[in-house]
A and B are shown apart, each in its own frame.
Chain A
């Protein structure tokens, strides 16, 4: 059984249909990259999976939790999938450690001591154990993004959605974030990521999804998608047509 099951999902913004019937099953432990031009619907798809966008048709199931617009369903779903954003979105009024501790304490009612130990462990996992007491504006972009990853991990999600998480970073900071993601992938975390890092996608992912005009245009293992793209659109996107 797949961990994430996306069936016939359609999404419209007004007259503009951005998702035109998406089907995608993600197995537990699978690492999937979603690539495509901007406007192809890849970020929207990701944001639909944890309910940041509503869907107009179709179903999304994550480990048995169904996407529905009411708060109870959304909460159940969001406990299973974490999300990391292009712009980090750390809480600027809290230290790195407090950023990681907040949701376990508030949502899961984890006692402060336990949450603190967990936060310390997660920060160490992303190589920032020594930055527990630093505020977000005292950290570099790469460090902020790693804190954001630690924050998502502290909720012990079954899967992580990564929405262009290196796109806002200076080139020299991209690698430290990708390394952390690569390590997560190797440890068996289910990852669904929208990315422009083709080399990384090729090395780390089990499958690559190429989206074009609101549809899954081509899907397959990275060797196939990058090595032998079947459609003209993908060839053009990869710059080999």
Chain B
């Protein structure tokens, strides 16, 4: 009989799940801020800004998150920065999230009819004024469901950071399994915890989608 009770396992998993939540929040909020900057660059009239944003987005969308984590963790220490796992994980996930959010939001901005841009242009508004007062308020409404939906991906993606030694839910599961030799129980609970985090998010995304679509009112 194992010296570990089920409660021992759950307790330790719950403790580690905190870090999954924190990392998800950091990635999502940080990614939101960087993503917004990238959105402005990506939809800018300046060719250089647009190219830079496209390069950034394609780089982060076109390589596995795992490679990005490795590069941040090992790469930065190669050039003399000793990055702890939490920092590498936070940075990589933030930038990865930003690349996807920028593209999701670009789709929403481009869904706003051209007439809105033309009308605000002919009222002498600048690009930022158009975005701030005319386009983003409308784009926000259609952006909510896919954005919330993507947050599910972010939560699940945090599991990858276990590979660089960041102790979140997945890493903790492996460690506890090594001690208890009860992989099915441990990973089963871990999966349940992921589900408990993700399911409400995807459910609310569906609800929001229905609510915003069915009503389809603009105010």
Contacts and interface: CB of A to CB of B under 8 A. Distances in A.
Interface string A122-149: 0000000000000111000000000010
A82 B218 contact: no
A179 interface: no
A91 B110 CA distance: 16
A110 interface: no
A83 B117 CA distance: 13
A219 to B, nearest CB: 25
Dominant SS at the B interface?
Answer: helix
Interface residues of B, number: 22
22 contacts: A50-B121, A52-B118, A74-B121, A75-B124, A78-B123, A82-B123, A89-B115, A89-B116, A91-B119, A91-B120, A91-B134, A92-B138, A92-B218, A92-B219, A93-B137, A93-B219, A94-B219, A103-B120, A107-B124, A135-B218, A137-B218, A151-B123
B178 interface: no
B58 interface: no
Interface residues of A, number: 32
Interface in B90-139: 113, 115-116, 118-127, 129, 133-134, 137-138
A34 B184 CA distance: 78
Contact of A102 (B121, B133, B217, B218): B133
Nearest to A50: B122
Contacts of B126: 71, 75
Nearest to B216: A137
The 4 A-B pairs with the shortest beta carbon distances in the complex, nearest first, are A92-B218, A89-B119, A103-B123, A89-B115
Given A52-B118, A85-B115, A93 B218 contact: yes
A152 interface: yes
B139 to A, nearest CB: 10
